[in-house]
Structures are given as C-alpha cells and as structure tokens.
C-alpha cells in the first residue's frame, strides 16, 4: 500500500466512520494527541476501525478531557483482513508483546496462542494482547486488527484443524529438521490457505514432534543451521512465508 498521509498520527477507533461523522476520543488517545503531540484544533489525524477503511479527520474540539474529531475524507478503502494464520507458543511478558506486534506488522490475520509441553507462561491477558496488536496496526498502517483467539492446547488444535481450517496447510518450524532453505517447499504451497506454527523457547517435545509430523496437513520446515530464539524464529518464518507465497509479492 503506498504510504499516504504518512506524517499524520494514525489511531484505531471503535466507532463507525463516514463523511461528517463526529468521533469523540477516550482519555488515552486524547492525552496522546493533546499532551504528547501537542495538537491543536484543525490538526489532522488518520483514523481507522477495521471495517470502513482509513479516514482523514480534523480536530474539531481539542478538549483536554476528550478530543472531538470530525471526519473529512476517506483516504484508503478497507482491505480484506489477512488470511495468514499464525500460531505460536506464548513467551514471557515483554517477548510476548514483541511477538504479537511483529506478527501484526508481518501481516498475520489470526494470531493464535498455542500451549505446548514446554510453553512457559501464566494466564494470558487478552486485552493486553489486543492492545499490542492495535499499537502495531496503527504504526504499520494495516487496516484490520488481527484476531487473537483464546489460547488452545496443541492436541486440541490438531484435532480441530481439519474441521475448522479445511484445506489450510500448517507450516511447522521444526528446529530438529535437517538444515535447509524452505523456499522450494513453500513455493509448492502457493495458492493454498496457510498457517504457520512456531514452538516455545524450549522447542517442541519429542512426542509433539511425532504428533505434528504425523498430520497430513503439516509441512515441517527448517529455518537454517542455527537454533533461533522463538521470537527471532517468528519474524524469520513470517518473512520467508510472506516473501515466497504471501503478500510481499
């Protein structure tokens, strides 16, 4: 997408968007525009809501308690949400935020936490995960916020894969696979709906690997000769999938 209005702040709002609509912002976004960016009446922002595209809006009332925006013109039509399913074993706090943000920037449409044997994480906070996805979406100009379903165990994921995902293939980053470039393997999957799964810091257990490799819809890939940290693997795997068969083309 060509970068338009790149100098204007982008805000995600949960509000219908249309010509002349008036949108009142909450405290956090008001504080960001007025106190942090020191914006004034008449200044412009870009707002989006995940379904009505992006809109240029002007500050109608720079009220420090609640800024009011008036929509001027649509600057981008809504694009369909990405169909790329990304599954990952949640990581500890900061790196969990990082993976959600990177998966959003890299174009994942569904970001599915998958609990595996060596996953080390407590209860996930859905609102925090969503806030990370929104922050990343605002920054990287995507127009849809990725869906982040509740965490699911690996067994349940595999058992429900065919009924819920149909023909989607599940590319599994297997750290024990013989080192190889996955480019040819991925090229053969072009045109099919795609899922990508990265394991936890401790990797997949032997039983999990056997279980994964036994699934007809699983395509194990190597990410080269070095063992990458799970958050590095996330970005590397998403990059190679998007570059070979995804939306970077």
Q: Which residues of this protein are in contact with ligand SAH, per CB under 6 A?
A: 173-175, 177, 198-199, 201-204, 222-224, 226-228, 230, 233
Q: How far is the CB of 146 from ligand SAH (least distance, A)?
A: 20
Structure tokens at 21: 């609509």
- Looking at the Cβ atoms of 86 and 204, the one nearer to ligand SAH is 204
Q: How far is the CB of 54 from ligand SAH (least distance, A)?
A: 34
Structure tokens at 17: 């968007």
Q: How far is the CB of 103 from ligand SAH (least distance, A)?
A: 14
- Looking at the Cβ atoms of 28 and 184, the one nearer to ligand SAH is 184
- Looking at the Cβ atoms of 22 and 227, the one nearer to ligand SAH is 227
Q: How far is the CB of 224 from ligand SAH (least distance, A)?
A: 5
Q: How far is the CB of 8 from ligand SAH (least distance, A)?
A: 37
- Looking at the Cβ atoms of 13 and 171, the one nearer to ligand SAH is 171
Q: How far is the CB of 109 from ligand SAH (least distance, A)?
A: 20
- Looking at the Cβ atoms of 53 and 224, the one nearer to ligand SAH is 224
The string of DSSP codes covering the chain is ----STTS-EEE-SS---TT-EEE--HHHHHIIIIIS---TT-EEEEE-SSS-EEEEEEEE--SSS-EEEEEEEEEPPPPPP--EEEE----HHHHHHHHHHHHHTT-SEEEEEE-TT-------HHHHHHHHHHHHHHHT-SSPPB-PPPEEHHHHHHHHHHHHTT-EEEEE-TTSPS---HHHHHTTTTS-EEEEE--TT---HHHHHHHHT-TTEEEE---SS---HHHHHHHHHHHHHHHTSTT-
- Looking at the Cβ atoms of 10 and 209, the one nearer to ligand SAH is 209
């Amino acid at each position: 997408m060509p970068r338009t209005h790149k100098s204007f702040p982008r805000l995600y709002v949960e509000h219908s968007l249309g010509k002349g609509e008036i949108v009142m912002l909450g405290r956090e976004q008001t504080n960001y525009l007025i106190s942090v960016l020191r914006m004034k009446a008449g200044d412009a922002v870009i707002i989006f809501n995940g379904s009505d595209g992006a809109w240029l809006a002007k500050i109608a009332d720079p009220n420090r308690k609640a800024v009011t925006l008036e929509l001027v013109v649509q600057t981008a039509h809504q694009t369909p949400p990405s169909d790329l399913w990304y599954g990952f074993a949640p990581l500890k706090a900061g790196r969990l935020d990082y993976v959600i943000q990177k998966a959003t920037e890299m174009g994942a449409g569904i970001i599915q936490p998958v609990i595996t044997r060596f996953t080390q994480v407590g209860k996930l906070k859905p609102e925090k995960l969503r806030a990370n996805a929104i922050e990343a979406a605002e920054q990287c100009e995507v127009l849809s916020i990725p869906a982040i379903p509740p965490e699911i165990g690996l067994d349940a994921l595999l058992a429900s894969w065919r009924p819920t995902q149909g023909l989607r293939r599940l590319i599994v980053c297997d750290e024990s696979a013989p080192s190889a470039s996955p480019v040819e393997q991925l090229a053969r999957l072009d045109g099919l709906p795609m899922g990508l799964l990265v394991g936890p810091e401790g990797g997949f257990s032997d039983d999990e690997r056997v279980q994964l490799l036994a699934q007809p819809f699983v395509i194990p890939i190597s990410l080269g000769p070095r063992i990458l940290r799970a958050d590095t693997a996330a970005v590397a795997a998403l990059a190679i999938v998007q570059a070979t068969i995804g939306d970077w083309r």
